[in-house]
Structure 1
Amino acid sequence: MATAEVPRAYPFGDTIGLAPHPAYAALREGPPIRVRLPYGEPCWLATGHEDVRTVLTDQRFSVAEAMSRDHPRMRPLARRGGGMVAMDPPEQTRLRQVVSRRFAARRVERMGDYIREVAEEQLAVLLAAPQPADFVALFATPLAIRVSCDLLGLPEDGRRQFSDWARTVLSFTATDEEVAGRTVAFRGYVADLAERRRAEPCDDLLTDLVQARDAGRIHEGELFAIAAELLNAGFESTACQLSSICYLLAVRPEVSALLRGRPELIPGAVEEMLRFIPLILGSTLPRYATEDIVLGSTLIRAGSPVLVDLAAANRDGRVFAEPDTFSLEAAESTEAPRHLAFGAGPHYCLGAQLARQELRIALELMVTRLPELRLAVPRERVPWRTGSLLAGPEELPVAW
């Protein structure tokens, strides 16, 4: 039974294109390995589907423990508290209950007409632009940020500020001072809005948070942390996923042709895209083993941190028949999704159904309204995000 090994430098590199870094190919069907991030103590890295699911669902792995440890991280300053992503149940459950009704399946389903209206408006902006046009700037980013900000109740005049703040927080290359400066400004902006909601409540998530704070269900710091987490998760991740989906359609025209003729396959295609497209580089926080746990053939000692890699788990050949291929056959499957794009367990993505709704509507518009969608530059000239928690095109010049 493996217990230790010399740690490898991690992350292995930026994700360029639709394939995880080549280093994962030899790891994802094997046991966890030891890695070291730029800062913090060494940790285990789980890449196999079963191991990743176990770490995410087994409550003997604690994410809250990271708050008192020299946890593995990309920047010098260690995180010390925050919202839902840094808590274990039951404290994490307490915070989720404050906002969960906004993300209930039926409520999200009723948002379909609104999301489609926003997507149509952004598509009109894209179609009116000279070709080639940047899909990221004209469609993916504004669609995602409009839906997220409207849900939270953040006004239009602050959207650029929110975007800049989110990009800084998710960047591995931003300094702690840059992150702190933008965070202080953003927190002040949200605090002012919260006081306005207290005086004049609205039908939005920020009002829910203010009322929960005033009722003593959450405190002031938690209000900000929840708003920040939901904005990051709902805006940046969706924008990156939309941009990568557009890239996939541009380089795989047969996918658009199939979905245009068989729109009933779009929900299944979205699930396969969520599995196939790498989005998150590693994990925001490690889980700490609270007792000795055997993970596959590896003994994880109590007090040891474990990172999970969702993109690697979604390419595990023991679970997926053709892990490195976007499968049109998988899009036709009626089986429940087995991918881990939204995580699993207590920290399963709160906005998963909302993200699915946005991706389905956007994909339908792309395949029906952008005939002959293609890249306007060679593949190798498409710039991809670097030094960031999220992967995706930085810009995507397209024509149609």
Structure 2
Amino acid sequence: MTSRPDWKQGLGPIDKDRPSPAWIAALRARFTTERTIDRVLTRKLEQRADRPYRQTTLEQLGAGVESLLRANIGADFAIRETRWLSGGASKLQMAFTLDWTRPGAGREQTPLVLRMEPAESIVETSRLREFQLIKAMEGVVPVPPVFWCDENGDHLPYPALIYGFARGVAKPSASSSGPSGVGTTLPPALRERIAPQFVECLARIHAFDFSKADLSAFDNPGTGTQCAAWGLDWWQRVWEEDSGEDVPLMRLAVVWLRKNLPVLDRPVIVHADYRLGNFLFTEDDARISAWLDWELGRIGDRHQDLAWTTNHAFSSMDADGKTPLVCGLLPESAFFEAYERVSGFHIDAKTLHWYKVYNAYSLAVIALATGYRISRNAKTHQDVLVAWLIGIGSSVLEELRQHLEAGA
């Protein structure tokens, strides 16, 4: 249903497709999130009724990029070889070559990528946060260089950023996979070479001293339970904004999560989607060449990444048919042992389990609430893929149930 009475907030019938200012204000008062997250989610609701997704052409995107570049580097440049990039469930991407005089390098033809939101995304996030996080990670782990950000969509149809084109593949050329890299299998020889890098990169991200980086679009929760509370408020707010029906298990999960908020001992950079499919590697030497999709990143708890990475949805079976491999790379126990050894950080079993419940809850929000809302309202270029994600909602709820039972 599009609307239903919400007597708790005393606002009468609520139309989530045309949210009223009073309802938006009530949501903001009820759920406390980071300031940028609040702005992004609020903007989504304020523009929902009058901002349908409009199919854009390469010519239109090229014109928007030209406007953005003129505002940043003047007029001495040329945009060439514009083309669509496939992959990803949330953002629209266009590759192009920029002929320009690059500061410190002289005249060059730089391969670049435009990464832009649709009208509403399967995950509504900030391009500025993604820009700042990738910039901070330069020299820490392999990432593409970032160049410009159109934070509010002043030049392009929707908010966007431009970063460098990275060499590599997300899966072996001879393999197959499901959407967004799910179900990818790697041959044993490749696993042995990628797995140590996979663990080392995660350790480097978590060990990074972010205090001197420009992360003005982020709030630091400090130690304590604020980090977990902010994250839970974020996803519960999205559930309230986007869901079309009541799911009792989701209400039960929120009660359990709030009752068991973990204490953060050390804030770190969290990628929040660290898995196979979100990094590129070069096939000739099996080296990780770029970590991508930082849009959900935050200053938070390392256990969030560890729980996400070990989600069964991202695993595959070893040749014995019995041993699940974390992201198709190595058994979970070996992954945790390697992470503790390389990072020097301890893994707390109770905190790890809390984040397994938290991640299952957020996945259910994405599939059953946002996926449903944006596909029925034609808000995205990826409507077929988004509709597919709705179909895995039952399996995500089953995983959530299992984690809650284990936590009981």
Structure 1 length-normalised TM: 0.27
The structure that is helix-richer by fraction is 1
Structure with greater contact order relative to length (CA < 8 Å, sep ≥ 6): 1
Structure 2 length-normalised TM: 0.26
